[in-house]
Amino acid sequence: DAGITQSPRHKVTETGTPVTLRCHQTENHRYMYWYRQDPGHGLRLIHYSYGVKDTDKGEVSDGYSVSRSKTEDFLLTLESATSSQTSVYFCAISESGGNEKLFFGSGTQLSVL
């Protein structure tokens, strides 16, 4: 299995609070992605990174920000959590972006009450 760790695995928070999810990789892959998975929507891309300090928006980036200060860590922050952000969040990594396969973490179940 690719070395990807997502933390926390589960989190319950209240509306309006900031939340940060962490994705840590030991593969030294250049590309990292954050997706959210909701019933009926499959996986939707939130943000992705193509190098340290290089990030771009995906399909559903509103309300989310990301940071990548070193190769191995990609942080996803919900600036002010809302109930609509209750979801399962997956991190993925790739050596060469979409040219090759993605490896996925185990996911973070986030509930915003």
**Using CB under 8 A as the criterion, which residues of the chain lie in contact with another protein when the complex forms?**
31, 33, 35, 40-45, 48, 50, 56, 58-59, 90, 92, 94, 96-107
- Establish whether the linkage from the previous residue to 8 is cis, with ω within 30° of 0: yes
Q: How far is the CB of 50 from another protein (least distance, A)?
A: 5
Q: How far is the CB of 31 from another protein (least distance, A)?
A: 7
Q: Report DSSP letters for 49-110, one per residue.
A: EEETTEEEE-TT-TTEEEEEEETTEEEEEESS--GGG-EEEEEEEESSGGGS--EE---EEE
Q: Which is nearer to another protein, 72 or 90 (CB)?
A: 90
Q: How far is the CB of 23 from another protein (least distance, A)?
A: 11
